[in-house]
Amino acid sequence: MFCRKCGLELFDNAKSCFECGEKTGIEGRMKTVFCRKCGVELFDNAKSCPECGEQTDIESNAQTSKEKEAQETRSTFKGVLMVVGLLIAIWLTYAGLTGFWRALG
C-alpha cells in the first residue's frame, strides 16, 4: 500500500508512514483478539493464548480457507474442462470446413 500523503510505498501492515508520519488507518481496521478464557490480548495470528494455552479460532478459520481453496481448485478444473471442450468444438468445426473428414473417408 501507499502513503496517502507522500505516496511512499509502505509495508502492508504499516500503521503510519515512516517518512512523513501520516496514519494509514490500518489500526482501525485490525481487530484485536482477546483470549476467550483469561482475556489477555493476543496477536492477530496467535493460535493459542500464551498465558493459559486456550486455543483461538485462528486454526478453524484456516481450515475454512483451505476448504475454500479446494472449492476454487474444483471450479478451476471445471473451467479447464470447458476450455478444452471449446477447443475441441473449434477443431471439429475447422476440420469440417477444411474437409478433414472427407480426406479420412
- State CA 103 to chain mean position distance: 50
Q: Determine, following the binding rule CB under 5 A, whether residue 23 of this chain makes contact with Zn ion.
A: no
Minimum separation from the CB atom of position 63 to Zn ion (A): 21
- Single residue of 41, 51, 67, 69 touching Zn ion by CB under 5 A: 51
Q: Determine, following the binding rule CB under 5 A, whether residue 38 of this chain makes contact with Zn ion.
A: yes
Question: What's the count of helices (H) and strands (E) in the chain, helices before strands?
Answer: 3, 2
Q: Alpha-carbon distance 85 to 9, whole Å? A: 44
Q: Determine, following the binding rule CB under 5 A, whether residue 20 of this chain makes contact with Zn ion.
A: yes
- Single residue of 22, 26, 33, 58 touching Zn ion by CB under 5 A: 22
Q: Which residues pair with 2 in a beta bridge?
A: 9
Q: Determine, following the binding rule CB under 5 A, whether residue 88 of this chain makes contact with Zn ion.
A: no
3-state percent breakdown (helix, strand, coil) of the chain, nearest 5: 45, 10, 45
Q: Which residues bind Zn ion (CB under 5 A)?
A: 3, 5-6, 8, 17, 19-20, 22, 35, 37-38, 40, 49, 51-52, 54
